[in-house]
Structure 1
Amino acid sequence: MFEHPLFMIFLTLSVFIISEKIFVHFNKNSLLNPVLITIILIIAIMSIFDISYEQYKEGTQIFNYLIAPAIVALAVPVYQNLKKVRSSLSLVLSATLISGIGIFVSALFLGTLFGLPDAMVEALSTKSITLPIALEIAALTDGSFPLVVIGVFSTGLPGVIVVPMLLKLLKVKDEALQGLVLGITAHAFGIARALAISPLAAAFASIGMVIMGCFAVVAVPIILKLGGF
């Protein structure tokens, strides 16, 4: 039964729906992010019932084919809020570029400061970029794909927990700004969190992620080269 693809699909969807209900029930507490809770519960279930990663991967292969349509669907909230996006585009562009430089340079600086291997430092430079673009940059710079994946995920998940808490602490109530910060810092995870705020937040999160990715494709290889990596 555990090997059947339908079981894996049903398991994943059921756990996510339960996680989403927990998230909403506790007033959308950042510590109970549905993606994080889903990952924890799935890992626990796989351990209890001795389900291998290969079995789970094969059974949920269909979700990989849905990634592209899901990304295209992100254009919907952008289109719905196109007027607001256009009026703020110059500010969004400036904020994203400045943030991007700060993120990339600080990652390299901290990696070097703590004496991390070059491969890990390179992977850290792409930690705040959505995975498909990060992998393309890794291919251009001969980076390690596994390390890049770990870097992206280890940034995205904590990002959707920490960023909302910081925004609340700083009393940032502007939904567009909340979405932009989530998109820049936590890429696709940030967009998923922004969707829980509003379509406007999701629109700005999408724009932030896209601009950040486009900027990174040009900037990261140059920064790595200047840094001697």
Structure 2
Amino acid sequence: MSRILGSTKKSANNPLGFTMVEIAIVLVIVGIILGTLAPMMIAMIKKDKLKSGRQVVERAKDEIIGYAMIHNGKLPTSVNDLPHNVDPWGNRLFLIISPDLAINDVCSVNSTIMSAVFYSPSSSGSCTTGNVVSNIACLVASKGPDYNRQISALLSNQVGILGYGCMGDLYPADNGGLTSNRPFDDIYEYLSLAELKARVCQPSTNSTSSGP
């Protein structure tokens, strides 16, 4: 009997022992902490990936300019010609070039046949009207975090781009031919011919002035 009492007393005085109630309380606290932090961590990871995605596309744009400088005004024919051509989600970037610049260098032309329509949300929420920008040299883009390209193909020398806040899909071919209704999240950069010529082409040494 004395042995049993002694054993019980020793266990009760053991500072390293935890009761089931104490363990349950600790688990509940840990669960609350994880439940609070997990959404914040997921949001931070998503934000960091979006930032990385924008940086990759911006680098690709700069690399297009660098490529044109090295190759006498000629543009790359594929993103494979660019060092940064894969986004943070593991998808290859896509490149759209004005068809006339597939033949001519940017310094030998004064206009391009490619234009872009930038759709923006209206007061009703629809994205059916857009602003047309002409003389586009090229566009490089990422499909974004949803792995689905929503920027259109080049049709009649024009590419369609939804505004952020628009729902829809201008490239159903990337979704099994079905038009999705996801928020637009493609990440893109485009180069106008004027911007490209200013960066790539040397100013003419010819002068028509009559001054000294």
Does TM, scored on the shorter chain, surpass 0.5? no
* TM-score, normalised relative to structure 2: 0.30
Determine which structure has the larger strand proportion and give its number: 2
Q: Which has the larger radius of gyration?
A: 2
Q: Which structure is higher in helix share?
A: 1
